[in-house]
């Protein structure tokens, strides 16, 4: 496809007439075989940069990506556009991997997505030197930096990939969030031939950052949502809370669903599609949601509680207003959330004694003798291991992460085994039980109605679906199922999400298990620095929110945004004569038709842009105007 220009490729496959800011420059660097780090904010169109380049160049582009769901979404999207792409990740059958690699070798693929853990598999390495690789794209490149907020040791293998594939092959690294220190480290770790940073400003002029510290978060959220139209995301800190929030919002008349990594792939995709297609307005999610999601008309993102660091907050908040229209990023918290954040970060660094205990527990569970296990991969039973060691699963996960960071093991994403149920009680007895058990009646009716063969054999069930239908929490549902099993009415096999662990070296005895105290201490200090920056950002109410964020990411010269909560308070917007005049003029203009904010600016030239935005925001907040289905301003 080398005869087509990047512009022609963009139009042919995506239908766009022109590139967004900086995309064309990034693409040209790769075409010219230069290493480049593209620092584009959330919604800046990072994937287009390497996808267009892949179609322009002869050969296959290797794309390293950290999340299976993200790879699957991108590959599916490319295939729908008629672009040959595949992904290799843990959980695929050997024959599937073999077929995909054959297609890459024989030139049938333009893009091959790989999880970083797969880079060292012998099957891949045996085919690599037979491939005509034109480009190596490193998505979420901050994962390679120990100074970053999401360091993944497996990313350190990427530089070796170029050594094997050919040092002349260019690398394009992409991320939405990197401080100057992290950006420099990314280029160093990937062994760029020459430093080359292409950076778009992190400034989002259409996005208003707002922070609210309040005791009653629920009331503030309800009041806020009742004044808002369009799609929104609410980020919460646990899977359980996403379900509880979605259920609570539904009970209060909102169209809401929940999303987290613990849902089955099919269920996650279904909920995501409902939200993308505006069948559901609000999606309550953990940070597992959002990467690679292309929905430009998100009008607000709410953080219900505090994220661990500014990088996560900024990336998630940036999913609002990608269409350039006015949008908001609201964080609602109370003082207890600050304590919870400190506890979360503290718990993510378990004692070295706990880490050693976890290592020995894994080896004993897998019956590995000292000196064995190198390069072998196993599935872990986290529940069994947690009970064996008397360590909470969350703390166990943190200990595993530290073992991975120290190079003893490699962790892959979890494989999921679905829950199964069979009703064992005879039909007549079952009907009698249902009639005499009002607490269990709705559950048993739902099971019989939705799972036809449940009385004959074990059938796969979805606890999230059942809990949502019954309007109860998942934990309460599991209690009911456990009770029904105790009285021998059902056989219940709970699902299990098992991470896969690969031993990087033979098992060693506990005394030979060494950690570098300085390395451990440095990681902990960096995590606490990021946590404290997040706390400072949300609790200090004397500096423009946008300016504070830009300063954090290295943009030292920036003006006041004019519409964050701090700027609004400082400017003390009141119904002055000037303000009153502007709002009257706006409502008069909107009498005849709806306008975008940009169109409105051209109609009201006497009022400064910042002042106009404040008036529009005030009118929206007070429901005197609204956004129509095309997200244009109109009278309410």
DSSP assignment of 115-147 equals: -GGGGG-HHHHHHHTTS-EEEEEETTGGGG-TT
Asked which of 15-19, 540-544, 617-621, 631-635 is least confident by mean pLDDT, the reply is 617-621
Categorize the per-residue pLDDT at 107 as very low, low, confident or very high, splitting at 50, 70 and 90.
very high
Which pair of tokens denotes residue 248? 């609570």
pLDDT of 516 strictly over 80: no
- Here the contacts of 162-165 (C-beta below 8 Å, separation 24 or greater) are 162/136, 162/190, 162/191, 164/125, 164/128, 164/129, 165/62, 165/128, 165/129, 165/131, 165/133, 165/136
Pick the CATH number of 573-635 from 3.30.70.980, 1.10.275.10, 1.10.10.10, 3.40.50.300: 1.10.10.10
CATH 3.40.50.300 domain range(s) in the chain: 6-199, 207-343+540-557
Q: What is the DSSP letter of 595?
A: B
At 252-264, the pLDDT tens digits run 999 999 998 777 7
Report helix, strand or coil for 512: helix
Provide the percentage of residues in the chain whose pLDDT is more than 70. 96
Judged on CB neighbours under 10 Å (0-12, 13-18, 19+), 577 is: exposed
- Between helices 517-539 and 545-552, what is the axis angle to 10°? 160
At 472-488, the pLDDT tens digits run 888 889 999 999 999 99
The superfamily (CATH) of domain 6-199 is P-loop containing nucleotide triphosphate hydrolases (3.40.50.300)
Instruction: Identify which of 263, 273, 288 has the alpha carbon closest to the alpha carbon of residue 464.
Output: 263
pLDDT of 236 strictly over 80: yes
The pLDDT value recorded for residue 413 is 60
Asked which of 18-22, 421-425, 570-574 is least confident by mean pLDDT, the reply is 570-574
CATH topology classification for 348-416+498-528: Arc Repressor Mutant, subunit A (1.10.10)
Going through 424-519 in order, the beta strands assigned E by DSSP cover 459-461, 490-493, 496-498, 500-503
Instruction: Identify which of 204, 225, 226 has the alpha carbon closest to the alpha carbon of residue 323.
Output: 204
Section 220-234 average pLDDT: 94
pTM above 0.85, yes or no: no
CATH number of 207-343+540-557: 3.40.50.300
CATH 1.10.10.10 domain range(s) in the chain: 348-416+498-528, 573-635
At 548-567, the pLDDT tens digits run 999 999 998 888 888 899 98
At 264-316, the pLDDT tens digits run 777 888 899 999 999 999 999 998 888 777 788 999 999 999 999 999 999 99
Provide the percentage of residues in the chain whose pLDDT is more than 90. 55
Section 400-423 average pLDDT: 80
The pLDDT value recorded for residue 552 is 94
Q: Does domain 419-494 have CATH number 3.40.50?
A: no
The pLDDT value recorded for residue 496 is 65
Section 77-84 average pLDDT: 95
pLDDT of 581 strictly over 80: no
């Amino acid at each position: 496809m080398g005869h087509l220009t990047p512009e022609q490729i963009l139009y042919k496959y995506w239908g766009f007439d022109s590139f967004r800011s900086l995309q064309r420059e990034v693409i040209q660097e790769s075409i010219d075989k230069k290493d480049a780090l593209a620092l584009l904010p959330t919604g800046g169109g990072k994937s287009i940069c390497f996808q267009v380049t892949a179609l322009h160049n002869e050969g296959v582009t290797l794309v390293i990506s950290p999340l299976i769901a993200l790879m699957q979404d991108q590959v599916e999207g490319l295939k729908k556009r008629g672009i040959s792409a595949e992904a290799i990740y843990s959980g695929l059958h050997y024959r599937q991997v073999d077929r995909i690699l054959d297609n890459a070798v024989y030139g049938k693929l333009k893009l091959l997505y790989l999880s970083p853990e797969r880079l060292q598999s012998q099957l891949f390495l045996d085919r690599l030197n037979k491939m005509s690789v034109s480009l190596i794209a490193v998505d979420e490149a901050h994962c390679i930096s120990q100074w970053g907020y999401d360091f993944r040791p497996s990313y350190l293998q990427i530089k070796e990939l170029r050594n094997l594939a050919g040092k002349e092959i260019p690398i394009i690294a992409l991320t939405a969030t990197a401080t100057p220190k992290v950006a420099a480290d990314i280029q160093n770790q990937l062994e760029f031939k020459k430093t080359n940073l292409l950076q778009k400003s992190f400034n989002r002029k259409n996005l208003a950052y707002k922070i609210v510290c309040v005791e009653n978060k629920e009331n503030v959220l309800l009041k806020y949502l009742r004044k808002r139209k369009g799609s929104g995301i609410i980020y919460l800190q646990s899977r359980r809370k996403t379900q509880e929030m979605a259920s609570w919002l539904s009970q209060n008349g909102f169209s809401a669903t929940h999303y987290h990594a613990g849902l089955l792939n099919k269920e996650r995709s279904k909920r995501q599609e409902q939200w993308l297609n505006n069948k559901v307005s609000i999606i309550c999610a953990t940070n597992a949601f959002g990467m690679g999601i292309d929905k430009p008309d998100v009008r607000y993102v709410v953080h219900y509680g505090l994220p661990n660091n500014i990088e996560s907050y900024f990336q998630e908040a940036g999913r609002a207003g990608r269409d350039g229209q006015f949008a908001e990023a609201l964080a609602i918290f109370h003082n207890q959330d600050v304590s919870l954040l400190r506890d979360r970060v503290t718990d993510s660094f378990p004692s070295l004694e706990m880490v050693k205990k976890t290592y020995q527990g894994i080896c004993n569970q897998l019956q590995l003798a000292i000196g064995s296990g190198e390069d072998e991969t196993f599935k872990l039973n986290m529940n069994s291991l947690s009970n064996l060691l008397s360590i909470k699963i969350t703390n166990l996960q943190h200990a595993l992460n530290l073992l991975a960071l120290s190079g003893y093991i490699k962790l892959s994403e979890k494989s999921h085994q679905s829950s199964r149920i069979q009703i064992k009680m005879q039909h007549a007895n079952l009907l009698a039980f249902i009639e005499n058990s009002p607490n269990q009646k709705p559950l048993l009716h739902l099971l019989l109605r939705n799972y036809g063969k449940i009385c004959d054999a074990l059938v796969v069930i979805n606890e999230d679906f059942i809990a949502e239908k019954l309007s109860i929490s998942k934990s309460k549902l599991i209690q009911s199922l456990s009770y029904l099993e105790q009285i021998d009415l059902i056989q219940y096999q709970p699902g299990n999400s098992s991470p896969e662990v690969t031993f990087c070296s033979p098992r060693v005895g506990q005394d030979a298990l060494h950690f570098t105290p300085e390395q451990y201490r440095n990681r902990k200090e960096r995590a606490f620095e990021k946590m404290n920056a997040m706390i400072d950002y949300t609790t200090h109410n004397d500096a423009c929110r946008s300016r504070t964020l830009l300063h954090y990411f290295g943009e030292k010269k920036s003006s006041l945004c004019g519409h964050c909560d701090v700027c609004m308070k400082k400017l003390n917007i009141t119904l002055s004569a000037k303000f009153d005049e502007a709002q009257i003029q706006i409502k008069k203009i909107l009498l005849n038709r709806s306008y975008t904010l940009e169109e409105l600016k051209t109609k009201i030239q006497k009022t400064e842009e910042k002042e106009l935005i404040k008036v529009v925001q005030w009118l929206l907040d007070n429901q005197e105007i609204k956004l129509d289905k095309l997200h244009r301003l109109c009278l309410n």
